[in-house]
Structure formats: C-alpha cells, structure tokens
Copies of this chain bind each other. A is one copy, B any other.
Amino acid sequence: MSSDLEIIRNTLREFAAERDWNKFHTPKNLAMALAGEAGELVAEFQWLTPEESQKLNKDQFNAVEMEIADVAIYLIRLSDMLIINIYEAAMAKIHMNKSRFPSQ
C-alpha cells in the first residue's frame, strides 16, 4: 500500500514525464522553486499580527492553502530527484531534536 507522500510523488513523476520537464528538474532548480514558493507563503502573513494569522478569512485561507500545496509539491519533487525519503528524514530529525531540546 502506498503512503500519502508516495502517491503525491508518483503523480508528480507522471506529470513531469508527460510534459518532458525532467530536464528542468535538477535539484538546484527545484530548490530555487521551493524557495520561491516559501517566499510567496511568508508574504501571505507579512502584514498580519500573530493573532490575525490564526484567524484567516476565506480568501487568506485559500491563498495560504495554495502556497502550502506549492511548497509541498517542490519539496516532494526535490526529494524524489535526490532519492531522499521525507518521512524517514523528518522522523530522524525530530528524534535528534528530542535530544537537543529535552522536555521537562
């Protein structure tokens, strides 16, 4: 059975192959695309107070959801190109953070 991340990864593989876009999808280029989308995401919040960022209106929510999708797409595509397993990498990093920041 496939995981969520694998289904998105496979859908993106097919999408890129059908458009002959693999030639553009070097890790360098995909990291840039991800940074660009992260910039658009942070821009959605730039003039909001922290409190306002917790109570987005419908338009703000839809815009943020779209940017989150874009960041996820490039993150998953970049990881696929490098054969990095996001699930394993994230869980390993959280494990490291548990040692770095022990809870009381």
This protein's copies in its complex? 4
Q: Does A19 contact B (CB under 8 A)?
A: yes
Which residues does chain B contribute within 8 Å of A48, judged by CB atoms?
28
- Measured in the bound complex, the distance between the Cα atoms of B50 and A19 in whole Å is 20
Chain B minimum-CB-distance residue to A81: B54
Total interface residues in chain A, CB < 8 Å: 70
Most B-side CB within 10 Å, residue of A7, A69, A97: A69
- Measured in the bound complex, the distance between the Cα atoms of B26 and A70 in whole Å is 20
Is there an interface contact between B27 and A64, defined as CB atoms closer than 8 Å? Answer: yes
User: Which of the residues B43, B54, B70, B72 comes within 8 Å of A36, measured between beta carbons?
Assistant: B43
- The 4 A-B pairs at the shortest CB distance, nearest first, are namely A39-B39, A36-B43, A38-B38, A69-B93
